[in-house]
Structure 1
């Protein structure tokens, strides 16, 4: 009787709380929380919570947390196990959204300890929350374990490391792995997928301080996204449109940050302001972090333009969950602001704050990065080790089956023993023979190594002689130039001389290298430009030349055509691009080779190509030569005309 009475009282309390909650949310009609409270079944509430496009559109995460706690308490009083589990799942997600990662992790681990009682959807939610928590807590080894669990349950196909590499500051490694893993999975007609892909690649380039190349990728991302948004042939859900707007704001914010890196502050400000306005409507932590980052860059741009009040207004915003690095940047900007307004005492205070934070951070991060990198490598090796263990288990099972069969055939034991002894004798014989073979191999190896050393010496001598011969040809062309009066003939001879020098440089770099198979392109390009400048003595010395080819190596079959192409482009820039004044002239050379894929880009800000470029293509020796050389690289030369200057680019294998 008493038990029934308690149950009735609990039900009445539940109804009372629901009525109070319903009355308190009458003013929030249209909010997701109101829809949640008007739903009677726990499973339906669960669906409303996780299927909402933006659950925090009206009510904050704290409102949600208070409401869920009430429902959880009532479910515990009624001992409704299924409802308790659902409310705890929602509570775990809300703690994650609030940035209380420790609480979220503890609750998620408690839920997953009873994973047998969880359905597939609940398991996926718990694992995704743990994945995000460990990333924010910088516990990357545990994050990898969660991702392996998701792969084993079929939620993901493989364990991705690129975001972990980026979190550790290894942005180039993150970009390379992201390209290898993600690019092959995107269809050519998937404009939204391509927008996300180019946005990610562009952001990794921006974080790696390659702002010009990052801008190119981010503009591609924006173009693909516009195609997706404007495609009326495909029906789009409310959620897809909402996510598209957020992605566009994210891309525009990153473009704005690239302009800040390039000191183009006027271009950056409207992009950053628009991005902040749209991303502020999102409840995702990544977007909240982007809002902080964009606001700091906006402050930086205003500060550089001496709009001090605008800069200070943005710096005074009290952000939640600001990261250590963002706090350091904010302190630096505040110190710079006080320097500019001559409040040196306040400036010194913020400089000192940063010094304390950086000292602590450097000690922790150095140890952390080493530890996490070791963990990642160990985990990658662990996958291979596990495969070997599984294979060994399979082999052991087969061996046990064979032994059992042999035990059942007792009459063949002695025959088996004889064969075993014979086999042992064979092993001894094979062992003795292998010792002899090892001696022969060692002798042959010594002979081969000597032959290789001799071959390298001969190859270096050949390259040296080829370079000398080409220099002799260049000298002959110089002599011929002195004996020629025709201006066009002199120009043709000078061009020929420049091309010969470009090839001679290749052979010079080869015989100077320890590795005769490849050429380090950064040094080669610098030497080539110096060589071209010596030919055109009257021009080119005031032009700012940027070379981005660090760490790129090419073999001789690719280096020679590439050198001749670059020789033509630089020569043309020196001769034609800046006819009046080259003081503001800029040339940008970008070369990258990732595995089998290569990319070359050349731009200048000169007067650009003439209007009849297409007609000249068939008659111009330089363009015809470049087209043929690019064909040798199994590619096609692309030419983009701009309001200022010109851009040549091509991909190659």
Structure 2
């Protein structure tokens, strides 16, 4: 009986969860005419509250219908000199222009209100400043955007000034992610699934823009799971606007997952995500201009173009697409040019390519200069803010120090008064003598410990130095053996062995050269390893452009040795096989990242001739590949291999 009762309870809970999720996915009430309700309201105060509290306001009437009515109310208020109503309707007017993507008009109205908002209520000040912040972001006027954010802090709308989204817009995606994690992680509560979904989606977006696509995809999948949990949460009730915003966020997340698959050249996987994202954004962002909608439409058009489905590709390209951002305009022209080139209409293809050339010619120099100036402005203001915060902290420390000194003075006065008592005098003398004795004992022990630590460090450095020298001797013996060997296969094997010994010797050399004997700075180690490998393969490698991105990453010796041997094998293989004609445009990219208390990521790519068709069969017989797989096992991971259009890519995550 108890078992049957438990089954019934579980069934009811599952039904409620399914019902709530299905309810969240329903179309928001389309029979509710928000525009008509807006017009029936009695005054501007109720209308502005209604307008900004209904995110799905354009469900039946377009933004242009709203704009026409608001203009009528605005003109009427101006004629009657109703200054409060004029402000309300101008705020609504500015938001409508923003929703339409006309950011310059929106900003012009908001700036006019900003110049005379000293006596405004805090709620209206917030609306004005948020509109200006958003407009400056869309218009890429980041120095002005920073000024607005500082002003918001000054009047108490926010405690901190954050620049992570501005850094990302200026191409500094990694710094943006680090600042965002520092600022926002502490504000996300464990039970707030919507906020957690937003957080993971933003982290994933910074990683996607930074080309760390596999890691970005994991964050987007987590965000998608969290938004589904938010929908199925039957305990916390949700308003219609909250459900609408959550569905819109899910559409954005699905679009980001699709974009990741496009970056990974997985076009068939990307299409369902992008298609569903486009439908959800259109459905839950009705009447508003959306950059995500434009980008997802271009991405799905590219997928169909890559899959040679030209009819579908042109359907999406001609689907009322009106990109505003320059990169989206360039991408649309590029896709049209590719379509016409593949279908044999070379004249039309040339026309679209010329359009892009004209756009780039007119923007490249100015855009680069403006971007550099704005980045410099952001950095300088960021440094200025940090300097002010340090001054405040310094003042607080000085205040604390003065309070401690005053407290010490009071204690000294009490101490002096106690000295004049007979009983206290004898006790203080005894304590004083004992204290001196203890201090001497502590000083002797401290001196002994310091000497022991210095001796230990010296011994460790000496051990690492001797290990390095012994490995170099092994390398020299291998070199002598190579000179006395006529077999080419034996010479190759000895050279490979010598290269591996050098990779291990370099680890010990870096350790005894470091102040900290526990870790190795990987950027310098990888550079030294590359130079060592180049010295072995003198005929190749000098025309190859090698990019190393491992700044600030440190590994202990247990992970550095297998990692160094894996990298030694990869670089050696690239020099030996990837560039048989010693091409001048050869490229190798090495990427290593380690986030504190989280897993690391390693990626190695070259644009050489790629792997042979029988590479899977060779993997069983090649010592180098077997060695790399065993070394990867030591790192508790698996070495992954991807064939790309230009060469080969190896990658793995590690703890």
In 1: Cα distance, 2:394 partner to 2:564 partner: 58
What is aligned with 1:230?
Answer: 232
1:35: Cα distance to partner?
1.0
- 2:526 corresponds in structure 1 to 523
Say which SS state the counterpart of residue 211 (structure 2) adopts: coil
> Equivalent residues in 2 for 1:161-560 (5 A)?
161-283=163-285, 288-384=290-386, 465-470=466-471, 503-508=504-509, 518-520=521-523, 523=526, 550-555=549-554, 558-560=555-557
Distance 1:121 1:155 in 2: 10
State the 1:236 CA deviation: 2.3
Q: Distance in 1 between matches of 2:145 and 2:378?
A: 10
Distance in 2 (CA, whole Å) between partners of 1:294 and 1:527 is 40
1:500 Cα offset (Å): 7.8
SS of the equivalent of 1:155 reads: coil
Q: What is the alpha-carbon distance in structure 2 between the residues aligned to residue 125 and residue 66 of structure 1?
A: 21
Closer, same or farther: CA 99–155 of 1 in aligned 2, 3 Å: same
Q: CA deviation at 1:274?
A: 0.8
The structural deviation recorded for 1:380 is 2.0
Structure 2 distance, partners of 1:373, 1:472, is: 51
State the 1:194 CA deviation: 2.0
1:399 is matched with none
Matched, 1:599 2:599: yes
The two structures, once aligned, show a CA RMSD in angstroms of 4.6
Cα contact 1:130–1:146 (8 A) shared by 2: yes
The superposition leaves residues 178-235 of structure 1 with CA deviations (integer Å, 9 ceiling, x where unpaired) of 2222223323343322211121111111112222222122112212222222222322
1:142 offset after TM fit, Å?
1.0
Q: Secondary structure at the match of 2:599?
A: strand
Tell me, which stretches of 5 or more residues in structure 1 are unaligned?
1-27, 395-455, 478-495, 535-546, 574-587, 608-621, 631-636
How far, CA to CA, are the matches of 1:272 and 1:472 in structure 2?
59
Q: Deviations over 1:606-647 (max 9, x none)?
A: 99xxxxxxxxxxxxxx999999x98xxxxxx68999xxxx99
- Contact residue 521 and residue 553 of structure 1 kept, 8 A: no
Contact between 1:141 and 1:375, CA under 8 Å: does it hold in 2? yes
Give the direction of change, closer, same or farther, for the CA distance of 1:386–1:552 in structure 2 (3 Å limit): closer
Alpha carbons of structure 1 residues 254 and 114: separation in structure 2 relative to 1, 3 Å: same
Q: Distance in 2 between matches of 1:497 and 1:139?
A: 56
CA distance in 2, matches of 1:225, 1:549: 37
Aligned to 1:152: 154
Q: Deviations over 1:267-297 (max 9, x none)?
A: 1111111111111234489971111111111
Structure 1 residues 554, 200: CA separation in 2 closer, same or farther (over 3 Å shift)? closer
Residue 51 (structure 2) aligns with:
49
TM-fit CA distance, 1:563: 2.6
On the 8 A contact 1:548/1:591 being kept in 2, the answer is no
1:317–1:512 distance in 2 versus 1, CA, 3 Å: farther
- Per-residue deviation at 1:139? 1.4
Q: Secondary structure at the match of 1:117?
A: coil
Change in Cα spacing, 1:350 to 1:457, as seen in structure 2 (3 Å) is farther
C-alpha distance in structure 1 between counterparts of 2:498 and 2:104, whole Å: 69
The CA deviation at 1:265 is: 0.8
TM-score, structure 1 normalization = 0.65
Q: How does 1:29-108 map to 2 (within 5 A)?
A: 30-108=32-110
**2:323, 2:329 within 8 Å by CA — same for their partners in 1?**
no
Q: Which among 123, 126, 130 is matched to residue 124 of structure 1?
A: 126
Q: d(CA) in 1 for partners of 2:385 and 2:52? A: 33
Q: Which has the higher contact order (CA 8 A, sep 6+)?
A: 2
Provide the C-alpha distance between the structure 2 equivalents of 1:271 and 1:225, rounded to a whole number of angstroms.
Answer: 15
Q: What TM-score do you get using the length of structure 2 for normalisation?
A: 0.65
Please list the CA deviations of residues 49-68 of structure 1 after superposition, one character each: whole Å capped at 9, or x if unmatched: 01003111111111111011
Q: Is the 8 A contact 2:48 2:88 kept in 1?
A: yes
- Of 168-177 and 269-278, deviating more is 168-177
Q: Tell me the secondary structure at the aligned position of residue 156 of structure 2.
A: coil
- What displacement does 1:462 show? 7.3
Aligned to 1:561: 558
Shift in Å, 1:317? 2.9
Moved more, 161-170 or 125-134: 161-170
Q: Is the 8 A contact 2:632 2:638 kept in 1?
A: no
Identify which range, 362-371 or 105-114, moves more after superposition: 105-114
Give the corresponding residue for 1:412.
none
CA distance in 1, matches of 2:395, 2:560: 55
Query: Where does residue 16 of structure 1 map in the other structure?
Result: none
Asked if the contact 2:601–2:652 (Cα under 8 Å) also holds between the matched residues in 1, the reply is yes
The CA distance in 2 between the partners of 1:182 and 1:390, in whole Å, is 23
Give the count of matched residue pairs.
491
Instruction: Decide which moves more: 225-234 or 67-76.
Output: 225-234
CA contact (8 A) 1:43 1:83 kept: yes
CA separation of 1:134/1:353 partners in 2, compared to 1, >3 Å: closer, same or farther?
Answer: same
8 Å CA contact retained: 2:245, 2:284? no
- Provide the C-alpha distance between the structure 1 equivalents of 2:390 and 2:556, rounded to a whole number of angstroms: 42
Give the gaps of 5 or more residues in structure 2. 1-29, 397-456, 479-496, 538-545, 571-588, 605-614, 617-627, 641-649
In the alignment, the residues of structure 2 paired with residue 61 and residue 158 of structure 1 have an alpha-carbon distance, to the nearest angstrom, of 34
Are residues 350 and 510 of structure 1, via their aligned partners in 2, closer, same or farther at CA, if it must alter by over 3 Å? farther
Cα distance in 2 for residues equivalent to 1:259 and 1:54: 30
Distance 1:457 1:286 in 2: 68
Aligned to 1:141: 143
